[in-house]
Structure 1
Amino acid sequence: MQKMVVQLKKTDWYDRFFSQRKILVTGGTGSIGSELVKSLLHHGVTRVVVLSKDDSKQYMMKQRLISKENISFILGDVREYETLKEATRGMDLVFHTAALKQIGICEDNPKEAILTNTMGTVNIIRACLENRVQKLINISTDKAVHPTSIMGATKFLSEKLIQEASRRPDVQTRFCSIRFGNVLNSRGSVIPLWLEQYRSGQPLQVTDLAMTRFAMTIPQAVELIKESAFLCQGGETFIFKMKSVRLGDLVQAMKAVLSDCNMNGAQFVLTGPRPGEKSFEQLLFADEAKRLFENEQLYVVLPHQSSSTPQARFKRARHNEYRSDLAQKWSVPELVALLRPVIKQSLGDETNG
């Protein structure tokens, strides 16, 4: 199967960069945060601190990593500045993954989305500045580009806050954002939702077969987050190179995999787009094209009036837009190959034959 993103080679610079570092991961019990934590533990870090507000997820993660001595947990909320001030004390790097990500929930609860996504970013920036953290890496989304949803708007503001922080004079902390699309099989994404609907005997809900979305796997997201942290000089926005998925093709692939697993009878029902949803996503603002560079894995947008240049292996990119409806698509056979192991694992041993 053709790979979605060229995989990074395991080179010594990962270990050199992360070795002996103290690292905080906000939202560290989430789908991406937890995998990032596990990956960082393989690079000789002094300590990884996981901050999240879900005690049940923390308990389960502690049990899975009980043999690891260089990990600790803080039960807390990014809305609370004093909690973040204490959590960032002595840290070298901070990965800010904590967020409310569900579009529908954010639409229904805009104040809560603002408090967590936007004010949480204000708080983590302030805490990193106070404690002179070396780098803060903010995890963003394609929904921050020309946002039509509350969630997208809060992420847009978070990116702007990161950029503003990087422009402050005499700042020791380096700030950057990482922007990518849908992460397949992450908590709250469509694949786990469909599996839950199937298990409960409900029809599998589909918004619009013509919709397109950028997509990548959790391991790919983690590897590219680490590369962006290494490359961050201050004020950049890193954009992952991804193929896109047409929802109708994903439905066909899901049907095929369920059939392979002797799970027949799945019924799909069209529901129409939900409030705030787009028919396609974008990863690039038009004005960013003038400051866009690329290597094999990603694009980087340099900050306005930057006197710096990207690190080696980057060249100037020639893109005016980066849209999921125009990007290279995953084929149905490729999606089947990608989804089969994920769905078999999720459905349990009865499907493994």
Structure 2
Amino acid sequence: MFNDYYKGKKILVTGGSGSIGKKIVRELIKYDIESIRVLDNNETELFNLDNELNSSKVKIYIGDIKDDQRLKTVFKDIDIVFHAAAYKHVPLCEYNPLDAVKTNVLGTQNVIDMAILSDVKKVILISTDKAVNPSNVMGATKFLAERLMIASNINSDEYGTKFSCVRFGNVLNSRGSVIPLFKNQLMHGGPITLTDEDMTRFIMSIQQAAKLILQAGFLSKGGEIFILKMPAFKLSDLVDAMVEYYAPQYGYDKDDIEVEIIGKRPGEQLYEELITPDEILKVYDNGDLFIIRDELNEDHEDFVYNSNEIDHLSKEEIKEILIKMDKIEV
């Protein structure tokens, strides 16, 4: 299905050296695409990715989405843009709000403008659950990025550029996420720093994230927000599962690992939401996906989709996910 759609396409991935961006590139290269351009401002990670893939189809571009002049070259003759470039760390955005706005909001507008000027067919924004009823700078900037992306369809005619969004939960083992942090702390015998025992989060694998993005690119007609149906977990249960699973691997007794409660970091929420009450009225069930469209669904069902209200994974289920994750990495 995907291969037929992406066959012969010229694709650009912004933020292509990040965890999600790299996975998108690795997945796309499996298809019969014409070329993939990878844009990022991280020179070292781009160099490593280029050496790893060693493909004539992959073209590396050092640059920044804040630089609209640079984008003119990168966007030329592109069919589809997967826009993953963003500042994503909540505390850093709290302390550097203007820079977060410049990249996540103004940078996204640059991507939109250049896509329209370059006659790109589709643009897919990679967003986050923190954009729903945002309580921190990062979430607020991603909320605005979503609004900019969806609103751009108003000025797009039948043959113009189509803009859509993909809204994620927490991506397992992505760069800067809690699992690499906890693993590193366990390697050194602890303590594990837990923000709050009652904190809950949605969870998805990098493989699921990449599949959702490619599915969105395939399904997008403009104006949609695509959301994977995903489970949630308590952060304290994740800590317990990781201690039980990893401590013996690193030569420690699980009972000797201490957990230190450090409190919420600046801007953090106790739970996350993926769909607002207003959006529930416009949700369409697409099997493994929810699709939010800018039209009322007369057959919609009322439900709450936040990480506190849905059933949580058990410690054993989390441990199974960790085992599967390690097998995939190997």
**TM-score, normalization by structure 1:** 0.88
Listed as ranges, the gaps of 5+ residues in structure 1 are 1-12, 310-314, 349-353
**TM-score, normalization by structure 2:** 0.94
The 5 Å alignment of 1:241-260 reads 241-260=229-248
- Give how far 1:260 is off: 4.0
Amino acid at match of 1:159: E
Listed as ranges, the gaps of 5+ residues in structure 2 are none
- Give how far 1:328 is off: 2.3
Find the partner of 2:198 among 196, 205, 210. 210
Q: 1:328 to 1:85 in 2, by over 3 A?
A: farther
- Once the two structures are overlaid, the 10-residue window that deviates more, 176-185 or 258-267, is 258-267
Q: 1:119 to 1:263 in 2, by over 3 A?
A: farther
Aligned residue in 2 for 1:8? none
Aligned residue in 2 for 1:160? 147
- Give how far 1:330 is off: 1.2
The 5 Å alignment of 1:161-240 reads 161-170=148-157, 172-200=160-188, 203-240=191-228
Deviation string, structure 1 residues 15-65 (Cα, Å, up to 9, x no partner): 110000000000011101101101001110000010000000011111111
Q: Is the 8 A contact 2:186 2:250 kept in 1?
A: no
Find the partner of 2:269 among 250, 255, 278. 278
Alpha-carbon RMSD across the aligned residues, in angstroms, is 1.9
Where 1:167 maps in the other structure, the secondary structure is helix
Aligned residue in 1 for 2:47? 59
Percent identity over the alignment is 38
The aligned length equals 326
Aligned residue in 2 for 1:7? none
| Distance in 2 between residues matched to 1:344 and 1:235, nearest whole Å | 37
| Distance in 2 between residues matched to 1:338 and 1:92, nearest whole Å | 35
| Distance in 1 between residues matched to 2:147 and 2:126, nearest whole Å | 13
| Distance in 1 between residues matched to 2:289 and 2:251, nearest whole Å | 38
Aligned residue in 1 for 2:310? 327
Deviation string, structure 1 residues 101-122 (Cα, Å, up to 9, x no partner): 1001000100111111111100
Find the partner of 1:294 among 262, 275, 285. 285
Q: Is the 8 A contact 2:190 2:259 kept in 1?
A: no
| Distance in 2 between residues matched to 1:203 and 1:86, nearest whole Å | 48
- Once the two structures are overlaid, the 10-residue window that deviates more, 263-272 or 282-291, is 263-272
| Distance in 2 between residues matched to 1:87 and 1:187, nearest whole Å | 25
Aligned residue in 1 for 2:88? 101
Q: Is the 8 A contact 1:162 1:176 kept in 2?
A: yes
| Distance in 2 between residues matched to 1:317 and 1:222, nearest whole Å | 27
Amino acid at match of 1:266: I
Aligned residue in 1 for 2:134? 147
Q: Is the 8 A contact 2:80 2:120 kept in 1?
A: yes
